[in-house]
Amino acid sequence: MNTANLQLEGLYLAIAAMHEMLISKGTVSRQEVDAAMRAAERTAMNDDRSGDLRPAERDALAFPARLLRLANATVSENGAQSFSALARGVGSSKLPYHDQR
């Protein structure tokens, strides 16, 4: 596996942990984190170049926000899910794009 991919996986997990810390301290709510990640995904999908991207490239662009939304929604008293579990969840919940129907 590419080392950069592992670094990105670690970064996503670190950001998810920061979200959880901010939520536990009452700095932000779980709903605010979700709204911020929804906004990030919308921004990625509305990028001028997104219409020129293949579906797999659009998925790659949206993946971080989708993974962090799922991590935010599924955290439990046992902690967050593993990266691979979260990535599978993102893949299984993905809807087709408007031009794929």
Q: Domain residue spans in the chain?
A: 3-73
Q: Return the higher-pLDDT residue of 9 and 2.
A: 9
The predicted model scores a pTM of 0.84
Q: What angle do CA 33, 89, 52 make, to 5 degrees?
A: 80
Q: Check residue 33 and give its pLDDT.
A: 97
CB atoms within 10 A of CB 2: 7
Reported as a single tens digit per residue, the pLDDT across 40-98 is 999 888 877 767 888 888 888 899 999 999 999 998 777 778 999 999 999 998 776 65
3-class DSSP state of 52:
helix
Q: Check residue 100 and give its pLDDT.
A: 59
Residue 2 has pLDDT above 80, yes or no: no
